[in-house]
Amino acid sequence: MADGPVSLRDAIRRRFHVLVDAAGLDESRARDWAVVRMVLDASWSVLDARRAGRGLTPEERDWVTRCVAIAKAVQD
């Protein structure tokens, strides 16, 4: 039986560590790559909307939120 609900942060961190271990990656480099990639993806969404002269769509806002959540979760 589970101890209780798993937080989003814990679930992301667990998946991150499973991937790092299975692929034999350097954890620090993988973490840095994930953070940079998520920040870039979020910023590209914002820049695309800005270039188009509009606000973010609900889907884009959700994506930016996911990117930030992942970037924060994989950091120590």
Question: Which residue ranges in the chain fall short of pLDDT 70?
Answer: 1-3, 76
Q: Residue 17: how many CA atoms within 13 Å on its side-chain side? A: 9
Confidence at residue 1, expressed as pLDDT on a 0 to 100 scale: 47
- pTM value is 0.83
Q: What is the pLDDT of residue 5?
A: 78
Q: Where are the domains of the chain?
A: 26-74
Read off the DSSP letter of residue 24.
T
